[in-house]
């Protein structure tokens, strides 16, 4: 709305002399950031975490030190539970990426969902039940993953530990706890564990190299980052189910070349069409990522037919 009521009245008075009697004066409105106030509300970090941790005598600063899993796990669990209940959630899971999840599994993740509740068999009372142990660790079957065929009962388990470098997030009625997944003997059963080990090695030897160059960074770590720019293809579902190569390999193996290329740049950077579901799909992805604290500000068509891109 206009900055003041007087300004609005002034505009309306002026419109009486400049517009026909049958025309209704329109009051100009200013842009508002209010519709985007839910940015990051589905991620337990920053101000969201700080708000709920303060209710339990702590603050969001404790999450900056990974040792909170040993010293403040129950406090964080209580705060996470309050946040989840306020957002309508009653379930949690340790969320991991099994081996080959980025390849033949086509991005599928692993999880076992559990309700954050305890049921009293005697009184039939129900109460919330979620503590530090539930938050920081989990166990499930690991024998069916490519870990060398550990089928003996005492070695068949798969063990989950929270990854403190990734924030807890919420979707629907479930909170997702990013986790690493290893076998009884510590072998990686997922794609996250090798990444974390690589980051640790990079930090260790990166600090050693910097020290030789005369730069002492103290207790700080060398941190690697990967860009959020993401290129992807959108394929109509009915067409996807007619292509066994896309279903099995996740890429085009059979078929003809595209009927057109990039000669006239008729796809690259062209405006997304309102007549196709591609734009609606991208808008929905942006909305969901916004709530998860992922700032996808840029969207556009890419070079190849049906190729698109997001970037922060």
Please tell me the predicted confidence (pLDDT) of residue 1.
38
Please report, for residues 41, 101, 159, 252, the alpha-carbon distance to residue 179 in angstroms, rounded to integers and kept in the order given.
21, 14, 10, 32
Residues of the chain with pLDDT under 70: 1-32, 35, 101-107, 146-151, 258-266
Q: What is the DSSP string of 193-246?
A: HHHHHHHHHHHHHHHHHHHHTT---TT----------EEEE---HHHHTT-HHH
Please report, for residues 36, 42, 139, 235, the alpha-carbon distance to residue 288 in angstroms, rounded to integers and kept in the order given.
12, 9, 29, 20
Domains identified in the chain and CATH numbers: 5-30 (no CATH), 43-190 (3.10.20.70), 193-226 (no CATH), 230-311 (no CATH)
pTM: 0.79
Task: Give me the helix-helix angle, 73-86 and 46-54, nearest 10°.
Answer: 110
Tens digit of pLDDT for each residue in 137-191?
998 887 777 655 556 777 788 899 999 999 999 999 999 999 999 988 888 888 8
Please report, for residues 104, 204, 278, 281, 299, the alpha-carbon distance to residue 233 in angstroms, rounded to integers and kept in the order given.
17, 38, 10, 12, 13
Please tell me the predicted confidence (pLDDT) of residue 261.
58
Long-range contacts of range 114-120, CB-CB < 8 Å, 24 or more positions apart?
A: 115/90, 115/91, 116/81, 116/84, 116/89, 116/90, 116/91, 116/92, 117/90
Please tell me the predicted confidence (pLDDT) of residue 160.
93
Strands 91-95, 174-182: pairing is parallel
Please tell me the predicted confidence (pLDDT) of residue 27.
43
Of 181, 162, 166, 171, nearest to 91 by C-alpha is 171
Q: Would you state the structure tokens that stand for residue 240, as one six-digit string?
A: 């996807």
């Amino acid at each position: 709305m206009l900055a003041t009521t007087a300004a609005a009245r002034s505009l309306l008075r002026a419109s009486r002399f400049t517009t026909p009697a049958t025309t209704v004066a329109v009051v100009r409105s200013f842009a508002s950031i209010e519709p985007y106030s839910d940015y990051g509300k589905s991620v337990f970090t920053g101000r969201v975490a700080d708000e709920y941790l303060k209710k339990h005598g702590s603050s969001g600063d404790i999450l900056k030190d990974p040792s909170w899993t040993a010293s403040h796990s129950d406090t964080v669990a209580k705060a996470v539970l309050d946040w989840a209940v306020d957002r309508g959630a009653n379930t949690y899971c340790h969320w991991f990426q099994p081996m080959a999840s980025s390849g033949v599994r086509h991005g599928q993740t692993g999880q076992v969902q559990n309700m954050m509740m305890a049921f009293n068999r005697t009184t039939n009372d129900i109460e919330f039940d979620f503590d530090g142990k539930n938050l920081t660790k989990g166990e499930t079957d690991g024998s069916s993953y490519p870990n060398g065929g550990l089928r003996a009962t005492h070695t068949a388990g798969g063990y989950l530990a929270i990854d403190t470098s990734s924030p807890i997030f919420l979707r629907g009625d479930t909170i997702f706890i990013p986790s690493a997944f290893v076998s009884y003997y510590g072998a990686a059963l997922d794609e996250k564990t090798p990444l974390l080990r690589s980051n640790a090695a990079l930090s260790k030897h990166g600090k050693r190299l910097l020290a030789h160059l005369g730069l002492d960074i103290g207790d700080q770590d060398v941190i690697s980052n990967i860009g959020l720019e993401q290129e992807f293809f959108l394929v109509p579902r009915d067409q996807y189910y007619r292509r066994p190569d896309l279903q099995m390999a996740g890429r085009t193996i059979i078929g003809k070349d595209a009927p057109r290329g990039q000669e006239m740049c008729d796809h690259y950077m062209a405006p997304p069409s309102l007549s196709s579901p591609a734009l609606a799909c991208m808008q929905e992805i942006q909305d969901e990522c916004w709530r998860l604290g992922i700032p996808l500000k840029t969207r556009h068509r890419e070079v190849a037919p049906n190729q698109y891109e997001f970037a922060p």
